[in-house]
Amino acid sequence: MQKIVAVCGKGGVGKTAVTAMMTRELRGRPSTGHFLVVDADPALGLMYALNVQSDKTIGAVRDKVLQAAESGNAGARAEVANELDYLITSSLIEEKDYSVIAMGHMDAKGCFCSVNGLLRDALGELVEKFDTILIDGEAGIEQINRQVVDRINTLILVTDSSYRGVQTVHHIEEMVKNGAIDSCEMVGVVFNRIQGDNRTLEELQALVGLPVLGIIPYDATVQNFDAEGKPLFDLPDDTPALKAVGKIIDKVFA
């Protein structure tokens, strides 16, 4: 079955770091199959973490289509609509063992519902072609394209043990209860950047209503890689945070 996994949580809790480490651990596993990674953050932090360079984003495709729509020229409109699949496919970056796509800025003004509809359909078709899709989201899940959101079946909420991080988890817990993401079969929490070995799973589980999928320790190597601008994808195999992510994947993808 197709697995669509979104990684969400409060700003700065480590969503991008966790997604980059998950990408590293998932690629090449036979159960992963055809693998797509989506950077849904306009700041393109995941692209840096994966050491992937590209200026092609879905936002740029959208702008191009909007321009054609605005030009009012029916010929240009029809042409771009036809081209949309091609434009989206050419925004896809092929890496060894996985593909990446960046959403970029999706905030162009105006309501061009037909354009958004076309884009949604084209993205939906693209997503169809992969077995595992991993999304580095923003704080909420609202920003991820609707066509994709409706099909997310695994939601990973990253948090640190801070009050505000946990509050964000509670907020998303509410959304889940209210049926905002009915498609989700698994929703769980990952505690990240946990200092020392003295926080037990039970203790952290008591902070949230959703099941805790795992604990990722504070890891100076992760912090240093980011501080020095080195891609997290290149972390050494024995990095404790990476090992913890491997265990979480064993659980989520069991």
Ligand X SMILES: Nc1ncnc2c1ncn2[C@@H]1O[C@H](COP(=O)(O)OP(=O)(O)OP(=O)(O)O)[C@@H](O)[C@H]1O
Positions in 214-253 near ligand X (CB under 6 A): 216, 218-219, 222-223, 226, 241
Q: How far is the CB of 216 from ligand X (least distance, A)?
A: 5
Q: How far is the CB of 160 from ligand X (least distance, A)?
A: 9
Q: Are 189 and 211 in contact (CB under 8 A)?
A: yes
Q: Which amino acid is at 4?
A: I
Positions in 28-67 near Mg ion (CB under 5 A): 41, 45
Strands 93-95 and 98-102: antiparallel
Cα 185 to Cα 141: distance, rounded to the nearest angstrom: 15
Q: Residue number with the shortest CB distance to Mg ion?
A: 16
Q: How far is the CB of 114 from ligand X (least distance, A)?
A: 31
- Choosing from 88, 192, 242, 252, the residue that interacts with ligand X (CB under 6 A) is 192
Q: Does 104 bind Mg ion (CB under 5 A)?
A: no
Among ligand X, Mg ion, none, residue 11 binds (CB under 5-8 Å by kind): ligand X
Q: Draw the binding track, 14-33, toward Mg ion (x: CB under 5 A; -: no contact).
A: -xx-----------------
Cα 194 to Cα 199: distance, rounded to the nearest angstrom: 8
User: At how many degrees (to 10) do helices 220-227 and 240-252 cross?
Assistant: 110
Q: Is the Cβ of residue 53 or residue 82 nearer to Mg ion in the bound state?
A: 53
Q: Does 13 bind ligand X (CB under 6 A)?
A: yes
- Choosing from 15, 119, 168, 214, the residue that interacts with ligand X (CB under 6 A) is 15
CA torsion, ordered 112, 114, 124, 232, to nearest 10 deg: -20
- Choosing from 37, 45, 126, 214, the residue that interacts with ligand X (CB under 6 A) is 45
Q: Which long-range contacts (CB under 8 A, 24 or more apart) does 205-208 make?
A: 207/161, 207/166, 208/159, 208/166, 208/169, 208/170, 208/173
Cα 242 to Cα 159: distance, rounded to the nearest angstrom: 17
C-alpha closest to that of 184 among 150, 157, 211, 159:
150
Of 10-18, 26-34, 54-62, 198-206, which segment contacts ligand X by CB under 6 A?
10-18
Q: Are 208 and 178 in contact (CB under 8 A)?
A: no
Q: Does 165 bind Mg ion (CB under 5 A)?
A: no
Binding site for ligand X (CB under 6 A): 9, 11-17, 41, 45, 192-193, 216, 218-219, 222-223, 226, 241
Binding site for Mg ion (CB under 5 A): 15-16, 41, 45
